[in-house]
């Protein structure tokens, strides 16, 4: 027989359990975030600012510790899998280095697809939904995406045309860049960032395809002399969180984290532009020379790499619709 006393006690137990459950969902979480970039890199600075703001707005209930410089032992190409498998709750994932697992992630590395960051913003309007799908099927969620700025060829030797690029051993970050620079006659080698400086120091490569920001990170002036502003490809860092870790947050915490990410992302894009200017100046201060790329040289590079657009779309059918929509908006 259920008495009033038994009912009251049972109700109290249920209420207490509900209270405990609510507290559990909103309990403090402490996450490590993996990135291969050093403390001074603007992507790492963005991540630290994001972590600080999340901690502040959550009153410390969501604490993110940025582990820079590959402290957790993961190389850039391993980050998508590391988050997918729960080896780390968050990582700053370089999209173009994940093409072995998800070919669509190489879409920004189609040669000369975008000519500026404004054009890249338009491309992201079409490809970001696909990035979100890629993340979801890899057991993760994208919190924000921030591009690298303009790309350069950093070389030991001075060249005036495409012929001068032939057989130069150059470090590249991804397979699509290998294909691109091979077709112009260079000898590209795919090397993760953490192994790039040793490769330069040993003479294994005599050039690097990357941003001026990474040039400063690697103190390229100690190894290389010339900078060519080819702006041939783009790439972006994506801060992703493991979905199992994400589900440990309460709804209010999730809303707070996504809100902070959305609010801060435009400022992170602006930081990218500023980092390019500042880094290029620092490379010049270190003794490197910026060599203007002639119209004839860039036209030649464009012509040689143009077939890679159709080749990519054929190889990655999911990219066809968003890329063609972007090209239509660009009237190209």
Q: Give the model's pLDDT for residue 323.
A: 98
Residue 160 has what DSSP assignment? Answer: S
Give the C-alpha separation, 143 to 235, whole Å: 17
pLDDT in tens, 119-134: 999 999 999 999 999 9
pTM of the predicted model, to two decimals?
0.87
Count the Cβ atoms, other than its own, within 10 Å of residue 128: 15
In this model, does residue 264 exceed pLDDT 50? yes
Q: Say how far apart CA 91 and CA 55 lie, in whole Å.
A: 17
Q: What is the pLDDT of residue 26?
A: 57
Q: What percent of the chain has pLDDT over 70?
A: 92
Residue 234: its pLDDT value, please? 95
Taking only the tens place, the pLDDT of each residue in 88-121 is 999 999 999 999 999 999 999 999 999 999 999 9
Count Cα atoms within 13 angstroms, Cβ side, for 172.
Answer: 23
Q: What tokens appear for 139 in the block?
A: 């057991």
Could you read off the pLDDT of 24-61 as tens digits, one per residue? 445 799 999 999 999 999 999 999 999 999 999 999 99
pLDDT category at 191 given cuts 50, 70, 90 is: very high
Distance from C-alpha of 50 to C-alpha of 66, rounded to nearest angstrom: 10
Q: Which residue in 288, 256, 297 sits closest to 165, CA to CA?
A: 297
Asked if residue 79 lies in contact with residue 99, where contact means CB atoms within 8 angstroms, the answer is no
Q: For residue 10, is pLDDT > 90?
A: no
Q: What is the distance in angstroms between the CA of the first residue and the CA of the last residue of the chain?
A: 79
**Looking at the predicted structure, is the pLDDT value of residue 20 above 60?**
no
SS3 of 252, please?
helix
Left, alpha or beta for 23 (phi > 0: left; psi -120 to 50: alpha)?
alpha
């Amino acid at each position: 027989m259920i008495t009033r006393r038994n009912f009251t006690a049972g109700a109290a137990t249920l209420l207490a359990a509900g209270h405990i459950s609510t507290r559990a969902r909103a309990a403090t979480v402490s996450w490590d975030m993996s990135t291969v970039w050093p403390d001074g890199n603007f992507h790492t600075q963005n991540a630290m600012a994001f972590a600080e703001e999340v901690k502040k707005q959550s009153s410390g209930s969501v604490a993110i510790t940025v582990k820079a410089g590959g402290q957790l032992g993961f190389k850039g190409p391993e980050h998508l899998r590391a988050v997918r498998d729960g080896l780390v709750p968050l990582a700053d994932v370089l999209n173009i280095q994940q093409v072995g697992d998800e070919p669509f992630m190489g879409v920004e590395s189609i040669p000369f697809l975008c000519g500026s960051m404004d054009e890249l913003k338009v491309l992201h309007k079409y490809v970001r939904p696909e990035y979100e799908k890629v993340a979801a099927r890899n057991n993760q969620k994208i919190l924000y995406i921030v591009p690298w700025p303009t790309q350069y060829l950093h070389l030991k030797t001075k060249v005036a045309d495409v012929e001068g690029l032939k057989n130069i051993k150059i470090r590249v970050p991804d397979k699509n860049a290998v294909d691109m620079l091979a077709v112009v006659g260079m000898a590209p080698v795919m090397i993760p960032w953490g192994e790039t400086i040793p490769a330069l120091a040993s003479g294994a490569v005599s050039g690097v395809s990357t941003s001026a920001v990474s040039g400063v990170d690697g103190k390229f002036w100690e190894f290389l002399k010339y900078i060519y502003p080819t702006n041939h490809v783009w790439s972006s860092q994506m801060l992703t969180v493991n979905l199992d870790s994400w589900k440990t947050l309460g709804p209010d915490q999730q809303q707070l984290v996504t809100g902070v990410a959305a609010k801060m992302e435009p400022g992170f894009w602006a930081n990218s532009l500023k980092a390019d200017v500042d880094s290029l100046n620092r490379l010049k201060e270190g003794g490197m020379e910026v060599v203007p790329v002639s119209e004839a040289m860039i036209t030649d590079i464009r012509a040689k790499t143009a077939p890679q657009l159709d080749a990519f779309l054929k190889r990655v059918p999911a990219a066809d619709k968003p890329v063609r929509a972007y090209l239509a908006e660009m009237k190209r």
